[in-house]
Structure formats: C-alpha cells, structure tokens
C-alpha cells in the first residue's frame, strides 16, 4: 500500500485496520515514515515513541488490544502526563520530567486501542496563540511553513493537517484547540468544562482548561470524543453522568436549527474581510439547509479578553508556583547564597518570556490592594458573560461566528506585540470563561498560490456537544473544505 493510499482520517484508518486492508503495524510504520520525512520542516512533535508505538500496533494485529480506536495512530499534546517518555510542556523547566502515571484521557485512549506516536509541541505551558513560545522552537503551518499553526495546541493541529497522525489531543484554555484548528484547516472541539477529566493535564488555568480532540472530519471528532468523555473520581470537576454516543447521533440533521448571530461578533474590530466573507457564505449555506437565523446579543463580549487575561494569569501564577527548582522543575547550576536566590535563578532560567509575563501579571493582580480591583472584578465580568450566553441559548440552538479574526499570520509577525497576539483569541475566550462547548471546522480558504484555511466556530450550551457536532456535520456534508489537503498530500479524504 503506497503512502498516498494510507488513510489519514480516523474512521477510515479504524475501518482499514478492522477489515485487514492494512495491518496496524503497516499503518503505524507508514505514519512514522511521514513524520520522518515531513516533521523536520513542520516540527509538530517534541518527542516520538517509535518502538512503543510499533509494539502497541503489533498487539492490535495479534488481537491482544481491541477497542473503538484499535490501531489508530494518535498524537498527544506534550502537557498530558504519560508514564513513558517525557512530559515537557515545551518548557526548559520540565525538559527532563518523566511523569509517574498516565493522564486519565491517556488511560482511556489506551483502553480504546489507540497507538501513541509521541508528544506534540505547544506554546510553553499552553500560554500562547502561535506555538512560537516553545522552548524547543516554533511549529510551522503545513499549508505555508512561513506561517504559524496557531496555539497553544499548534503541534497537535499541525500534525493532523500534515498527515502525521489520524487524530490528536489538545487542551483549550482560551481557544487553544479551536484557533489552531482554524489556522490549520482541521476540526477541533473544546468540550464543556467538566465533561472530560483534567486529571494528568499539567495545569495552566484550572477553571478554564479543557482537553479535546483535533481531527480531519466532524465524524472523526465525534468518535474521538466518545473515548475521552466519562466520569473520573480523581477530578472533582468532572461530571458523574453517562455521555451520549456522539457518533451514533451525528448524521441526524437538526430540523429547524436556530443559529444565533451575535451583533457583537459581527461588529468586532480586526476581522479580516476574507474571514468575514467566508463565514457569511457559511451562514448562507445554513440558511439554504433550512436553518433559522436569530439575532442575539452578547453585550459583555468586549470585556472577554480583559477578563480572561486577568483570570488566566492569576490561576497560572498560583499553579506555576510549584516549579521552583526544589519541589519541581529545573534547578540552577549556579552557586547560590540562599533559598530565595535558588528559587529566583531556577525560575528565571526555566521559564520563557511569555510565561514570566503572565506569572507577573497574575501575581500583581492577586496582591494585597489589587485583588478586588482586578481579580474580583474579572470574576464578576465572568458571571455576566455566562449570563449573556444563558439568555442567548434560550433563543437559539447554537451560535455561529468566526474562530479566528485572521488566517494564519507569519512567524515572528506578532512576537514583539503581545496585545496583537492576545487579540487572536477574540472569538474564543468567552467560551472558556462561560464553561460552554465550541467547535471549529473549515469554511473556506484564502486566494493565492498558498491558500490558507479559514475556520467557522459553532458555540453550544453547556453539555450541548451533540448539538454542535450535528450542526457542524450538516455543514460539512454540504461542503468539501474538509477534503482539501496541503501540497504533497492526497487531496481526497477517506471518510469512515
């Protein structure tokens, strides 16, 4: 079987292995060969688990490993703990850290028969929107390697887009699954807070973080989500109730689908006209399929970025306090006079500039005399944003908007201007603040010799994953954006 005939979608790969069109070992070897050929340019992976992956695949072929993902090659974001390899969070602070256990979602994927290829690059400790903040170098966008893949799950999104895996796992704190999915032309879903266990995810902002899938198609996304969800007593925020079979419900069209169009999103500053045009065409496509457009208002949207960049750094300041060179993390080799200097030197050497910036912002906002002025006020805004969504979902089934205000921007274009980088999350942060679910899927491409993907976002109410997946599938079935591939890859997706 030639490389061009090896399936790159999850369900197609699962079917090919199950029906013995290709063995799990052959599929794994072919995928690893793609990585060897293409990843030196893309730099999606921080580390590979070649021998382990081949051993896992061999057990599938022998019938000793079964499950809904048996033999499917999967990539893991490098902030998920595994009891094999390193878990670095793309930081010098954890460059040699070996976790003593597997994260809950890793355990679930293992039980489902997935083959783990390795760990993907990210913005250090998931703090960023471009995957340029990694201590191990920037990941590049497979559609144009002079551009960013988005972040912080840029390595996972780029790995899927480059055909280096059949699905990947990311984490989303303010858009870190959906924004890179949009910039890389793949599907990415941020689940409702509490639907997927965070146990074993290295924390950035604990009240905002969620783990979710990145795939080529909505069907693949639903299949992967089926494996990730479920109760976990080790995460007190994870709900203890059975989840529906998202894949089984997926192809049931939503009759009378009500799509909310928020005037605040339509009037947001900084939207690239090409993005707005593609989203408008997607809205027209939904209308042609019988969806009803509902004008809604989310009046506190403009405060989302400000509230997020208080809440998230405050939680990061607390979570990252443990990395001091004594309890966890890099320890300076310099001679020091006291414990304070040891902490200071270790943290200065171990953390990158963006992580330091956010720790300092959070520490300041939590300090005496400023707590009420910043953190407390941001929490009040958070409640207002949640109320806005609650009221909107009383009138509509899902909210439609862009995922990213622009297509992928050039590497280095925004690194000297943190504010412009933060504004890349304009359409995504409020989803995390409110704890609801959201999905990004491709809805168009820019013109030119190197077309860039454009992402469409659907936001749903808490635990409304089935609704947004079904709505996304309706659009996907009516279009062929998900079938396009970067240069050098097969242009026809093979759907299961």
Could you please report the per-residue DSSP string of 314-380? HHHHHHGGGBSSSSBS----S--SSHHHHHHHHHHHHS-HHHHHHHHHHHHHHSTTTIIIIIIHHHH
Beta bridge partners of 116: 74
Residue 127: both structure tokens together: 């703090």
DSSP per-residue letters across 98-145: --SS--HHHHHHHHTT-EEEEEE--SGGG--SSS-S-TT----BTTBT
Contact 433, 386 (CB under 8 A): yes
Q: Which helix (H) or strand (E) holds 274?
A: helix 273-288
Q: Which positions ≥6 away from 160 have C-beta within 8 Å?
A: 75, 166, 167, 168, 184, 186, 214, 215, 216
- Specify whether 152 is catalytic: yes
CA angle 395, 397, 398 (to 5 degrees): 110
Please report where in the chains the tokens 């069907």 appear, as a residue: 219
Examine the residue annotation and report whether 91 is marked as an active-site residue of this protein: no
Burial (Cβ within 10 Å: 0-12, 13-18, ≥19) of residue 386: middle
First-to-final CA distance of the chain: 18
| CA–CA dist 141, 187 (Å, integer) | 15
214's tokens: 């990145």
C-beta atoms surrounding 287 within 10 Å: 12
29/237 Cα distance (integer angstroms): 39
261 DSSP assignment: E
Interatomic CA distance for residues 346 and 45, integer angstroms: 26
Which one is catalytic: 43, 77, 119, 190?
77
Q: How many CB atoms lie within 10 A of CB 264?
A: 17
The count of C-alpha atoms lying within 13 angstroms of the C-alpha of 367, restricted to the half-sphere facing its C-beta, is 7
Choosing from 171, 176, 219, 440, the catalytic residue is 176
CA 197 vs. chain centroid, Å, equals 15
Catalytic: which of 91, 129, 152, 466? 152
The pair of three-digit structure tokens given for residue 262, joined into one six-digit string: 């928020």
Residue of 170, 126, 130 whose CA lies nearest to 151: 130
Spatial distance between the Cα atoms of 305 and 283, rounded to a whole number of angstroms: 25
Just list the catalytic residues: 77, 152, 176
């Amino acid at each position: 079987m030639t490389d061009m005939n090896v399936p790159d979608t999850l369900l197609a790969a699962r079917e090919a292995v199950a029906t013995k069109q290709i063995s799990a070992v052959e599929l794994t070897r072919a995928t690893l060969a793609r990585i060897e050929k293409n990843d030196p340019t893309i730099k999606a992976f921080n580390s590979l688990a070649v021998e382990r992956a081949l051993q896992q695949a061999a057990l599938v072929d022998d019938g000793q490993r079964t499950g809904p993902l048996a033999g499917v090659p999967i990539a893991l974001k490098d902030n998920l703990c595994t009891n094999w390899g390193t878990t670095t969070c793309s930081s010098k602070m954890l460059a040699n850290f070996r976790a003593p256990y597997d994260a809950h979602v890793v355990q679930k994927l293992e039980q489902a028969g997935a083959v783990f290829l390795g760990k993907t690059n990210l913005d250090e400790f998931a703090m960023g929107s471009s995957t340029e903040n990694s201590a191990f170098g920037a990941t590049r966008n497979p559609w144009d390697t002079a551009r960013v893949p988005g972040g912080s799950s840029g390595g996972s999104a780029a790995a899927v887009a480059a055909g280096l895996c059949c699905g990947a796992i990311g984490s989303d704190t303010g858009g870190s699954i959906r924004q890179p999915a949009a910039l890389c032309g793949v599907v990415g879903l941020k689940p409702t807070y509490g639907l997927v266990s965070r146990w074993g995810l290295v924390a950035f902002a604990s009240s905002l973080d969620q783990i979710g899938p990145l795939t080529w198609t909505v069907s693949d996304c639903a299949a992967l989500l089926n494996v990730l969800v479920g109760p976990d007593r080790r995460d007190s925020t994870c709900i203890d109730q059975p989840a529906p079979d998202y894949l089984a419900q997926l192809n049931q069209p939503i009759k009378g689908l009500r799509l909310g169009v928020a005037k605040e999103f339509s009037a947001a500053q900084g939207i690239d006209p090409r993005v707005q045009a593609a989203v408008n065409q997607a809205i027209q496509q939904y209308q042609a399929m019988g969806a009803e457009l509902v004008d809604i208002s989310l009046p506190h949207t403009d405060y989302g970025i400000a509230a997020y960049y208080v809440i998230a750094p405050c939680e990061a300041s607390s979570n990252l306090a443990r990395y001091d060179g004594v309890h966890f993390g890099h320890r300076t080799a310099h001679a020091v006079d006291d414990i304070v200097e040891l902490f200071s030197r270790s943290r200065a050497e171990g953390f990158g500039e963006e992580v330091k910036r956010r720790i300092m912002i959070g520490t300041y906002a939590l300090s005496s005399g400023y707590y009420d002025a910043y953190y407390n006020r941001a929490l009040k805004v958070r409640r207002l944003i949640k109320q806005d969504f609650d009221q909107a979902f009383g009138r509509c089934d899902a909210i439609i908007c862009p995922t990213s205000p622009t297509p992928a921007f050039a590497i280095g274009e925004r690194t000297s201007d943190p504010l412009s980088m933060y504004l890349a999350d304009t359409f995504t942060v409020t989803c995390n603040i409110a704890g609801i679910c959201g999905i990004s899927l491709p809805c168009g491409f820019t013109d030119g010799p190197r077309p860039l993907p454009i992402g469409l976002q659907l936001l749903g109410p808490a635990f409304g994953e089935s609704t947004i997946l079904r709505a996304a599938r309706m659009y996907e079935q009516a279009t062929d954006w998900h079938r396009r591939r970067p240069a050098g890859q097969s242009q026809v997706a093979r759907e299961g």
